[in-house]
């Protein structure tokens, strides 16, 4: 039996399981066990506690995505990275995706929306009239389709980025998958120190004043996430809610 199988079996046998393989008690136990660890130890350990092929990694190839991708590539170089390609990204984002893919020898797979739904979002300018529906069609649905193949989804969310993110646990069950948020307690200063130490490249639009970068229709220059969905109530695309 592989280490991952043994570890996973131990967790399940200690606290019982559900259709994801883990009960609420098991998730709580994982939270207790992972909390004292450094975030890189958490990521190393999750590949031992779960089958690597059950682990989903996504990247938006946004402002500082090189940070998370550099860490993942160092710990598990063969990890497939899924990119939700909404069709509304800046050309600089697509170039940044290609640049990082080559620089860190990543395996990146694009997830694209249904072409009819995407065309509808385009003809109706849904990002203006109903941005939640637009995100649902172009981001959430393509990801939902791939999520069913996985049990654990690693995020790079950090608590200082928003109140919602600050309220999360390291492990949470969300819409049929276990969200693993190993970097919640990484401070902005720690992230910036890592980026400087490894001389990691920022998204090219960061130099022009964009600190958070999503689709071109919904992103303007601004500090933190202030430039996202400006003038609207919306603060998250819904992928992480
Ligand atoms: S971020 Fe804007 S353009 Fe992109 S999917 Fe969401 S609403 Fe649509």
The minimum-distance atom of ligand 1 relative to the CA of 131 is 7
Q: Whose CA is nearest to atom 6 of ligand 1?
A: 135
Is 135 known to be catalytic?
no
- CA of 21 relative to ligand 1 center, distance in Å: 33
- 84 CA distance to ligand 1 middle (Å): 11
Residue (of 4, 52, 27, 13) closest to 149 by Cα position: 52
Q: Is 28:40 a contact under the CB 8 Å cutoff?
A: no
Question: Residue 64: what pLDDT?
Answer: 85
| pLDDT for 189 | 94
| CA 132 to ligand 1: nearest atom | 7
pLDDT of 124 reads: 96
Ligand 1 site residues, Cβ closer than 6 angstroms: 86, 88, 127, 131, 134-135, 138-139, 214-215, 217-218, 237
% helix / strand / coil in the chain, to the nearest 5?
50, 15, 40
For residue 225, the model assigns a pLDDT of: 62
Q: What is the pLDDT of residue 17?
A: 42
**From the CA of 216, how far away is ligand 1's center (Å)?**
8
- Of 213, 238, 211, 226, nearest to 91 by C-alpha is 213
Each residue's pLDDT expressed in tens, for the chain with a length of 241 residues: 344 444 444 444 433 344 566 888 999 999 999 999 999 999 999 999 999 999 999 999 988 899 999 999 999 999 999 999 999 999 999 999 999 999 999 999 999 999 999 999 999 999 999 999 999 999 999 999 999 899 999 999 999 888 888 999 999 998 889 999 999 999 999 999 999 999 999 999 999 988 888 999 998 766 766 666 676 666 666 665 5
**Angstrom distances, CA of residue 203 to CA of 86, 211, 240:** 18, 9, 21
Q: Where are the domains of the chain?
A: 3-218
Q: What is the pLDDT at residue 211? A: 81
Residues in a beta bridge with 109: 82
pLDDT value at position 223?
73
pLDDT for 236: 63
- pLDDT confidence of residue 163: 86
Of 87, 134, 141, best ligand 1 pocket probe by most atoms within 8 Å of the beta carbon: 134
For ligand 1, atom 5: residue with the closest CA? 135
Report the residue among 93, 123, 218 best suited for mutation to probe ligand 1: largest number of ligand atoms under 8 A from its CB: 218
Which of these CATH numbers, 3.40.50.2000, 1.10.530.10, 3.40.50.620, 2.60.40.60, describes 3-218? Answer: 3.40.50.620
pTM for the complete prediction? 0.83
């Amino acid at each position: 039996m592989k280490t991952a199988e043994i570890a996973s079996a131990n967790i399940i046998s200690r606290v019982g399981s559900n259709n994801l393989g883990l009960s609420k008690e098991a998730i709580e136990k994982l939270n207790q066990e992972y909390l004292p660890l450094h975030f890189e130890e958490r990521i190393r350990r999750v590949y031992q506690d779960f089958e690597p092929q059950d682990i989903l990694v996504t990247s938006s190839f946004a402002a500082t995505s090189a940070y998370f991708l550099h860490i993942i590539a160092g710990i598990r170089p063969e990890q497939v990275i899924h990119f939700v390609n909404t069709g509304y990204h800046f050309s600089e984002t697509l170039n940044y995706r290609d640049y990082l893919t080559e620089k860190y020898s990543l395996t990146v797979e694009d997830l694209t929306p249904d072409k009819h739904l995407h065309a509808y979002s385009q003809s109706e300018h849904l990002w203006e009239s109903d941005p939640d529906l637009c995100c649902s069609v172009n981001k959430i649905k393509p990801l939902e389709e791939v999520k069913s193949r996985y049990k654990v989804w690693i995020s790079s969310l950090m608590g200082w980025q928003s109140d919602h993110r600050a309220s999360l646990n390291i492990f949470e069950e969300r819409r049929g998958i276990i969200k693993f948020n190993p970097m919640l307690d990484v401070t902005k200063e720690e992230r910036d120190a890592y980026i400087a130490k490894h001389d990691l490249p920022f998204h090219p639009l960061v130099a022009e004043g964009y600190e958070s970068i999503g689709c071109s229709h919904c992103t303007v220059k601004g500090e933190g996430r202030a430039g996202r969905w400006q003038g609207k109530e919306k603060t998250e695309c819904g992928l992480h809610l």
